[in-house]
Amino acid sequence: MKFDTPATTNPIDQLKIIGHATSRIDGPLKTTGKATYAYEWHDVGSRPAYGYIVGSAIAKGRIASIDLSRAKAAPGVMAIVTAENAGKLGKGNYNTAKLLGGPEIDHYHQAVAVVVAETFEQARAAAQLVQVSYSAAKGSFDLAAGRDGAAKPPGRGDNQPDTNVGDFPGAFAAAPVQLDATYTTPDQAHAMMEPHASMAAWDGDKLTLWTSNQMIAWTTGDVAKTLGLPKENVRLISPFIGGGFGGKLFLRSDAVLAALGARAANRPVKVAMQRPLMFNNTTHRPATIQRIRIGANRDGKITAIGHESWSGNLPEGRPETAVQQTRLLYAGENRMTALRLAMLDLPEGNAMRAPGEAPGMMALEIAMDEMAERLNLDPVEFRARNDTQVDPEHPGRPFSRRQLVACMKTGAERFGWSARNAEPGKRREGRWLVGMGMAAAFRNNLLMKSGARVRLDRSGTVTVETDMTDIGTGSYTIIAQTAAEMMGLPLEKVVVRLGDSSFPVSAGSGGQFGANNSTSGVYAACVKLREAVAQKLGFNSADVAFSDGQVSSGNRSVPLGQAASDSELIAEDSIEYGDLAKTHQQSTFGAHFVELGVDVATAEIRVRRMLAVCAAGRVLNPKTARSQVIGAMTMGVGAALMEELAVDKRTGFFVNHDLAGYEVPVHADIPHQDTIFLDETDPMSSPMKAKGIGELGLCGVAAALANAIYNATGIRVRDYPITLDKLLHRMPDA
């Protein structure tokens, strides 16, 4: 189905089921332990063996030799796979580093072997007996040191590393009010609850992989390319995923080594990547250095805005696109953005929740706060004065919907922003210095082709099949709501089957594009099914209603299941968007407000209140949408105050590579969180009139916290995370 014009009316607009707060239909399975995750499959023909990964002990260099003799002789060992005996391996479209290292080593903890044994304990014990000798080489591990040598990365289509509009240098030099500041964000880890895990089984030359992966079609293709198989010989199954945050968008070594181990052992093999290996073996959010320059007239109108960002990655890697929101968020006639990429021998940098905008907003929204102060303007007012309803780099392309100002003003009223003292350090409650901060929220809305298959049986039950995944976001539920609304059924008459490469290809889960696109694909398939039902029952498809399990037209009403009385009715279709992304800018907007206290003696920070206001199209399920936003807000607290992968710049690895050393927020760190969804539909976004929301709730949170800390203490911190050592020596007298 082509969707290249605004939707007007459609069955979704009935809002009998869509738009209502609905508990997750997969909840009972998960709370009772019946949901099967990648490492938990057992019914695969023969009893699975277990694989244990050996990671490289150097960050750069070569393997000089591997001695497997002691490991092979260990109890229960069935096979050991290394680059020497794995056969020729290709490289997928989405992998920067090889997933099985040797003899060259690309990064620390790159997989160099997998030991397969009868039990997990035997595999783990034998893996300790693998003796690897290395020839280490000098590597580059320091972004700051590599900044001067960073190069302009290649662009892809319309996504270019540099943009220029007008005369930025001249306009900035002439601006009466200026800001020129540098901000840094650290390397961060996904740290999801479920580790990267896979189980592989071969049937001749056909491979089935039960794996924890967000993008089934991408990964099926990359498995085939890596192993040299026809794509049709690879089946991926991933119905439940225990969190991903972008870390499971791509094929990783657990899946490849499970497949290689299963082939070598002639048995199904399970591989769960051990937690201390994940942080250096898999992808992470790369650190950035960001320089922001803003020039404005004294009335608060921006005349020049420039944003440059430096990040690092392995050869063939891509930069962290931290300037992309600056291209769209605020008006200003003279503009410049630039990305530079340093070659580093650290683990691969790649997508993590809201790649680009999340670290970019961490810097931009502090800069906007600093400019507001220099202009003696309220931070909300300064942002509102620089609102725009068109893409400021392409003025002929309007935003499909843009309610940034409404988000900020609604949030300011609800949060009690007018009570904020604009002068820092003036509100004190006993030992606590109290401050408020805010930031805009922004994340682009991506339109992607997405498909589904729907089946109607004689009982009137509709089954939806799509390779869409649920990473804890509620995909099962909103897809069921969509099919129920379209076919006039209660939720209990809809069955949803996800995460199988034998199903039609969907958008997948990532980039907050999953909900809008996958449900639109289900919508398209249901339109075809409605037409098939009408034809089977002798109705005019243009004049038929589906409601309460009945199909009606005029005075005639027939049970829906009667259309499948002879045989099951099946319909399949995909949603495609034509040139909509070129004619209209698709983005989501919001505002974050924070109140916190800082202990005057210890600089301990305690978050007291948080509010997010979001404008992101139609909210398909307010209950699961709120969960997504408060989870993102929590992640923003971690980004602001705690999260940092500490780099050993001598030997090239993340030192704190487990959940004991990598700090994330816990319940005691998080206060009550409020969310407001503006009443908005976006008819340009899809037939669902929805957009994404899962990443919008993160973008801007860290900056709101940084701005609140400044308001509380008068200390401006431009380097994340904002830890006690960055405040203590500058705190006001107790």
Q: How far apart are CA 255 and CA 196, in angstroms?
A: 8
Identify which of 528, 537, 549, 544 has the alpha carbon closest to the alpha carbon of residue 484: 549
Q: Each residue of 412-430: pLDDT tens digit?
A: 999 999 999 999 999 999 9
All residues at 6 or more sequence positions from 723 whose CB lies less than 8 Å from its CB, including other chains: 641, 642
CB 132 within 8 A of CB 115: no
CB 111 within 8 A of CB 53: yes
Q: How far apart are CA 530 and CA 526, in angstroms?
A: 6
Q: Is 721 exposed, middle or buried (0-12, 13-18, 19+ CB in 10 A)?
A: buried
> What stretches in the chain show pLDDT beneath 70?
5-9, 734
- Rounded alpha-carbon distances, angstroms, from residue 704 to 9, 279, 387, 591: 39, 28, 19, 9
Domain ranges in the chain are 11-35+448-576, 38-138+191-280, 379-446+583-730
Instruction: Copy the structure tokens of residue 570.
Output: 């099946």
Show the CA angle centred on residue 202, arms to residues 242 and 49, nearest 5°.
Answer: 65
For residue 583, give the H/E element and its range. Answer: helix 580-583
Q: How far apart are CA 543 and CA 548, in angstroms?
A: 17
Q: What is the pLDDT of residue 159?
A: 87
Instruction: With H, G, I as helix, E, B as strand and everything else as coil, classify residue 679.
Output: coil
Q: Which CATH number fits domain 11-35+448-576: 3.30.365.10, 3.30.1360.70, 3.40.50.300, 3.30.420.280?
A: 3.30.365.10
Beta bridge partners of 434: 597
Quickly list DSSP for 21-52.
----TTHHHHHTT-S--GGG---SSS--EEEE
For residue 295, give the H/E element and its range. Answer: strand 288-296
Q: What is the pLDDT of residue 581?
A: 86
CB 181 within 8 A of CB 718: yes
Topology of 379-446+583-730 in CATH? Aldehyde Oxidoreductase; domain 4 (3.30.365)
Q: Give me the residue label for tokens 């440059």.
A: 308
- Rounded alpha-carbon distances, angstroms, from residue 285 to 55, 348, 353: 20, 9, 9
Q: How far apart are CA 625 and CA 697, in angstroms?
A: 10
Instruction: With H, G, I as helix, E, B as strand and everything else as coil, classify residue 514.
Output: helix
Instruction: With H, G, I as helix, E, B as strand and everything else as coil, classify residue 3.
Output: coil
Q: What is the pLDDT of residue 157?
A: 81
Instruction: Copy the structure tokens of residue 564.
Output: 């499948």
Q: Which long-range contacts (CB under 8 A, 24 or more apart) does 38-42 make?
A: 38/194, 38/197, 38/198, 38/199, 38/210, 38/211, 38/212, 38/238, 38/241, 39/197, 39/198, 39/199, 39/270, 39/272, 41/199, 41/210, 41/237
Positions annotated as catalytic residues are 695
Domain 38-138+191-280: CATH class, spelled out: alpha beta
Q: Give me the residue label for tokens 């709370």.
A: 31
Q: How far apart are CA 329 and CA 316, in angstroms?
A: 30
Say what the pTM is.
0.97
Q: Give me the residue label for tokens 């099926």.
A: 220
Q: What is the pLDDT of residue 6?
A: 67
All residues at 6 or more sequence positions from 661 whose CB lies less than 8 Å from its CB, including other chains: 646, 655
Torsion of CA 67, 73, 78, 83, to 10 degrees: 0
Where do the H-state alpha helices sit in 39-100? Answer: 69-72
Q: Give me the residue label for tokens 């006039």.
A: 488
The one-character DSSP state at 566 is: S
Report the half-sphere exposure of 292 (CA within 13 A, side-chain side).
Answer: 25
Q: Do domains 11-35+448-576 and 379-446+583-730 have the same CATH topology?
A: yes
Instruction: Copy the structure tokens of residue 427.
Output: 């509100």
- Count the Cβ atoms, other than its own, within 10 Å of residue 600: 19
Strands 587-599 and 432-444: antiparallel
